[in-house]
Structure 1
Amino acid sequence: MAELATIARPYAEALFKAAAGVGVEQIQQWLDAFAAVASNEDVLRVAQSPKVNREQVISLFAGLANGDVPNLVSNFLGAVVDNDRLAALPLVAAQFRALVNDKDGAADADVFSAFPISDAELQALRPTLEKRFGRKLNLSVKMDEALIGGVRVIVGDEEFDTSVKARLEQMKAALTA
């Protein structure tokens, strides 16, 4: 895995520099879509077939990502295909997101909840979480019914757990100590 990360870094940095004038948010969306496509083993197998040419692979990715691909993204994807680096696309997307976050002074946060969280509730939670973690957060919600209630937030290697499950485990530890 470290080898792919080493391979992905120069691609992410080059795309980040090239995207500075275009808008990194749009590029990030395309890159995330391509990373999802490249995560599929069947797609990688087809793309590596000697019977499939460069334009067909780019067309395949564009078709699966649903849209007209900007020239910058198409050229980038062409370079990735030419160098047989499609397997590294998910890591390129992650490293590109890290570069965007560093530029913005932000971080990605996964909010785990036992129940669906509305956008209004998420926006109400945002200031508390940003104060707690000391930076702007890009929040994404994931369901985890095992939490019973409350939320668990993970930002990088930091965790903030206010779930009922965590509180029950704390009470259990206190009672058995």
Structure 2
Amino acid sequence: MADLSTLARPYAKAAFDYANENGAVHEWEDFLLVASTVVNDKSFSTWLDNPAVSAEHKSAALVDLYDSQVAGDSDSAFKQLLGESKGSRYGNSISYPKVSPQLNNFVKQLAQQERLALLPEVYEHYRRHKAISLKQLDAYVTSAYPLTDEQRQMLQTRLATSLNASIVIHESVDPSLLAGATIKVGDKIIDDSMRGKLQQLKTQLTA
């Protein structure tokens, strides 16, 4: 039997091609991220494997959860998750549309073909299609202190210019860096932290 990644590829391509042609790339990506997170939950995956639950009920559960927890007015952990995926600290303040009829049909097809378990893999392949299409790169920034809005914007602009690509910044904080930050884009790492500079100095002095 083919592995999950291989099985997921055609679904991801079909999803991205449709979303890209219809200006709904971000909406589909948001849903796939949330659905993937839910499917990865052990209790929910056990429920999905229950043959007594109809395919229509399974797909409806995912869509209803998204519409209530993400497209609804109240704050939720899923909104925060989406905000973090976009490199934003303000996930709960963003407005998200409800699942479209086309996306709903896509989920129904996955359910009918017993492929909902592929959603995490579909999401990863979808993101790759998007990155290639939009020439988008993820930049993982670890700083000694939280970035200010000005620092974040300046960093994003500089990286976009130097790499000639759209940049999505993912932030984390590590006080042990003392000052400055490290930046990882693909297999490239830029160490502009105080800890890194001290290490370089130590290496030079002991060489």
TM above 0.5 = yes
2 CA distance for matches of 1:174 and 1:86? 55
Corresponding residue of 2:24: 23
Q: What do the CA deviations read for 1:21-76 (whole angstroms, capped 9, x no partner)?
A: 14211111111111221221221111111222222222322243323321122122
2 CA distance for matches of 1:57 and 1:150? 47
1 CA distance for matches of 2:45 and 2:57? 13
1 CA distance for matches of 2:112 and 2:148? 43
Corresponding residue of 1:102: 132
Within-5 A mapping of 1:30-109: 30-65=31-66, 66=69, 67=71, 68-109=98-139
Q: Percent of aligned positions with the same letter in both sequences? A: 30
Cα distance change, pair 47–126 in 1 and its aligned pair in 2 (3 A): same
Unaligned runs of 5+ residues in structure 2 are: 72-97
Query: In the alignment, is the contact (CA less than 8 A) between 1:31 and 1:93 conserved in 2?
Result: yes
Instruction: Give the TM-score normalised by the residue count of structure 2.
Output: 0.74
1 CA distance for matches of 2:151 and 2:171? 11
Query: In the alignment, is the contact (CA less than 8 A) between 1:126 and 1:137 conserved in 2?
Result: yes
2 CA distance for matches of 1:148 and 1:90? 36
Aligned residues: 176
Cα distance change, pair 12–122 in 1 and its aligned pair in 2 (3 A): same
* Alpha-carbon shift at residue 171 of structure 1 (Å): 2.9
Q: What do the CA deviations read for 1:84-134 (whole angstroms, capped 9, x no partner)?
A: 333332222122122112112221222222322233321111122223434
AA aligned opposite 1:152: T
1 CA distance for matches of 2:174 and 2:128? 25
AA aligned opposite 1:25: H
AA aligned opposite 1:127: T
2 CA distance for matches of 1:7 and 1:176? 53
Unaligned runs of 5+ residues in structure 1 are: none
Query: In the alignment, is the contact (CA less than 8 A) between 1:44 and 1:86 conserved in 2?
Result: no
RMSD, aligned CA: 2.2
Corresponding residue of 2:13: 13
2 CA distance for matches of 1:86 and 1:145? 40
Instruction: Give the TM-score normalised by the residue count of structure 1.
Output: 0.85
* Alpha-carbon shift at residue 135 of structure 1 (Å): 2.1
